[in-house]
Chains A and B, each alone.
Chain A
């Protein structure tokens, strides 16, 4: 393919602004998918992606387009994840492109994640083409939004195509703009190979399928390739184009092209996003910039609800990991919950996605413990340690100081909610940095927020306090010293390890009280009174009591309907099986989950 006719671009949009729908329309218009195979949001092929309206994994598709200038173009559309948890993946996808379409809802305007991703695109040197979507809505105000794009991002937007991806209005204008304005890729097909991996997935027949953008050089089947960061080597089995519903093998992939490579790679860890593929025999002098090994930021324990399913859980995690290099897990045990795994995630959404996939795709009933971030502890003897599990928190007497991760957080919201948002951020120990008006009614509120305040239920709380209008984005800024304590929960005098967590001393008392109240509510009355106590280093700071059971009786024994009574008792017996026996106390599984959401 003539390099000058290739256009590599991605689509940037906020959730629900119509990215996947626009992608659908583009696929239709370029006849890349037979109408009979067309289903909504074809690129979001995970159920979860369709349901949540989010893109979790990057996808890419090669499209042929005959433009009005009479030329035949090859478009490579790279669909990127839209969520802050996957910022790094987004940045690698963008690095594979020369252009980006910025889709903005013509009634809602710019949102936090749009802006964050647009800045990533601008920083990567991409040609950004604004598109105003949903102009069919009565509330659409394309002029206002165009002004907003110009004012806030500084992109000319007056001639931005005004489209409706839903109804198909004006989609062709977008394609024409891509052909005319996205620059063709550069790169020398004869130079040493530099291929950027921007995503990969595991196929049980062919091994890892690496999605690549060839920056320099050429790759052929049979070449021995080397992963420059990881260091592993493989022989290329196949390479080719990523078509909408299939892979299309080719003799080679050349500089400027986007496609796939298979090389009997057994593990996605050997084809890491951001790594550079080169040839073993004619290696590039250096790797492409921007690679980093992804590090989980949020951790939690995942346990099978029924201990007998421990190995099923391990198998499921292994399978998920095949396709998700960012997921980490290692075995851990809890006195309360038995055998399980300590799992690491990029962020909260990533954590929720994994939990849901375990439950839905693998049919597992799981219990998760409170999420934790990584704390840095410097001990009095000078030793520095990192803690992601409250169980490992050292004796306070041995701690010189502790540090916690802090984020730069931006919240975009209509100005009427500023008060609520600031209140929330103050509650979460936020430090106000500044506030900017995006236009006359919308603001960008900038806070420094401790990550451990975000990971509980910040997003839910933000949504409920802004009627869902606020959007939120954050990035890790660094570590700061913090007055942290470990809070333990005792039931009937015994610490329940799975309920311990690390928290700022100022927040400990109110959280302890809320937790004790919640547990009191969730733990059913038992044959004896159960004290629920929250304590820090043995000092009790909150107490509730689950009173002894007093009444649980079928007083009336009517006319011999014994079956009904029997069924009731059997149900009760079944219910007992679902309880966790902690010492002498029976605790329902939902008690463990309920303390994760205290802001209700």
Chain B
């Protein structure tokens, strides 16, 4: 059976960024301890149910570095003891650039971490202030050099597109910052105001549809100029440096999510934990999220990738995969060329198409 991805949700933050709707609470010492215990228990329990190798591990948040290198190591050791990690390719920890130390990187490296993801968001102090981020570009610079010193070269930075009053020049600054640091992977998201976040309550004027589309295409062009390949709607990497963990999601493969708010997809079932740390610690059961893994889902996920939906893979995964692929292909051919590329073996969305991928995908399913 295939190796799986493992996602650990670390629900702690020192403060809440006003645009963020991920689940997090303040990292009280006892709470962290209880949380670690609960995660380890779940790892042991799952290892009895799913006899799988681990392909990737991803610590997301929240702010995973707030459980310290000890916390990270404890969890990784538990995984190693209970699952087969011989062929684990990638272990990522998301970090907050202003609360990491050299020691942290050195220690987690020892525990097996080989990839770091940080929210740069912007290299401009004004934009960081708008986002309510406490760090500066300099903090990121330092954190990156700590990580590199510790021997972790595989680093990803997040960039945010479509901020209030954002200009191309500002974005170019941020892009150049990443390129100069020779960062191998960049995630670049268009800011979306999520419900129930402080941003949703404020009267924020974001760039309109056309302006944010322009900014998105601009970032894509500038990153590609600098050797970054846009392999997914919001993700860029130097050759061979794609995020293995995220590819698990997009290729419709299986993953286990542990932690409050974490989602799983195993053996065609989707399930998740409620966004409630106390309940998680007390052993709350998973919530059934229905069947997963059908063709529509496979299509929707694969079309996020530049390489697109491949007929051969459809045929391998689904009994009627070839027929389903051909049906989608027929619909795809009605969509203008600027948005979609097709040949008899493949359907893929173009960069212009990525921007309206919801519309396009909904036309294909």
Contacts and interface: CB of A to CB of B under 8 A. Distances in A.
Nearest to B255: A560
A566 interface: yes
A412 to B, nearest CB: 43
Contact of B359 (A527, A557, A563): A527
B356 A563 contact: no
A528 interface: yes
Contact of A572 (B7, B336, B359): B359
B156 interface: no
A562 B359 contact: no
B359 A558 contact: no
Given A550-B213, A555-B233, A562 B362 contact: no
Contacts of B262: 559-560
Contacts of B355: 550-553
A561 B339 CA distance: 26
Q: Which 7 A-B pairs have the closest CB atoms?
A: A550-B213, A560-B263, A572-B362, A555-B190, A555-B189, A552-B358, A552-B356
A553 B233 contact: yes
Interface in B102-128: none
B234 interface: yes
Interface residues of A, number: 26
A551 B213 contact: yes
Nearest to B294: A566
Interface residues of B, number: 49
Nearest to B207: A551
A558 B335 CA distance: 28
Q: At the interface, is chain A mostly helix, strand, loop or mixed?
A: loop
A569 interface: yes
B209 A562 contact: no
A569 B189 contact: no
Given A550-B356, A560-B264, A565 B233 contact: no
Interface of A: 525, 527-528, 547, 549-563, 565-566, 568-569, 572-573, 576
Contacts of B12: none
Contacts of A565: 300
Contacts of B189: 555-556
B253 to A, nearest CB: 10
B304 A557 contact: yes
B356 A560 contact: no
B246 interface: yes
Contacts of A550: 209-210, 213, 355-356
Interface in B1-30: 7, 9, 22
Given A527-B339, A557-B250, A562 B356 contact: no
B279 interface: no
Contacts of A527: 335-336, 339, 356, 359
B192 A556 contact: yes
B66 interface: no
A379 to B, nearest CB: 45
A568 B300 CA distance: 11
A562 B190 CA distance: 19
B365 interface: yes
A555 B255 contact: no
Nearest to A566: B297
A185 to B, nearest CB: 69
A559 B358 contact: no
A550 B261 CA distance: 32
18 contacts: A550-B209, A550-B356, A551-B190, A551-B213, A557-B234, A558-B22, A559-B60, A560-B262, A560-B265, A561-B263, A562-B292, A563-B270, A563-B290, A569-B362, A569-B365, A572-B362, A573-B362, A573-B365
